[in-house]
Homo-oligomer: A and B are copies of this chain.
Amino acid sequence: MDAMEFFRRSAGRWQSQRTTHHLAFRRSEAGESEIAVDTLRADAPQVVELCKLHGIDPAGAAGATLVSWQGRMGWDREEENHSGATVMVLVPDDAGGRTGQLLRERGYAEVAPVVGRYFMDDEDGLNLITEYETMSVVERFWFITPDLRLRASTLKRFGGFSTATYCTETRLTDEAEQAADASPIRQPVSLWSW
């Protein structure tokens, strides 16, 4: 499977449970979000535009994923929305499509556009490595089943690792949503982006 195929398999709506472990303080922070994932063709306007922004020839792009999210804060009864969206473009090194450059409109913690690296590992996990000015992020995404995707990332800041973040993502179907709405158990969650 190449990275574009990984994006295609990720298309759809997902319920994401997220936990961040803050290493220095031994604290963990929980959040949840609904994520919508679409794939974009290599010739889509957003893809061409993002390539140009990074000074990269759009002809080299394999396509992209468009991720939008809406986080919820469980302790607030009012409908507070914490939403966002990002595009990630794949520019493969070769025809195999398993390694290459990853162009982002927006990174985890910075609004400026960034270029990272991606590679598919032999377990068909998608790995993303992004170096920012003051920190670096390594992420791995992998499927347990077509409808269950996990994500683990570590953030290194000023030379030391500061957080590890884990997401458990369950594909949303109408059936699953009805069951979730009927569940009486909810917990407080905190704000986060996808």
Contact = CB atoms under 8 A, between A and B. Distances in A.
Interface stretch (A25-33, A39-47, A54-62, A108-116): A25-33
Contact of A183 (B17, B26, B32): B26
A24 B17 CA distance: 11
A106 interface: no
A145 interface: yes
Interface in A124-150: 125, 127, 138, 144-145, 148, 150
Contact of A121 (B26, B30, B123): B123
A28 B30 contact: yes
13 contacts: A17-B23, A17-B26, A17-B28, A19-B166, A26-B187, A27-B185, A28-B30, A122-B123, A123-B125, A144-B161, A144-B164, A148-B161, A150-B152
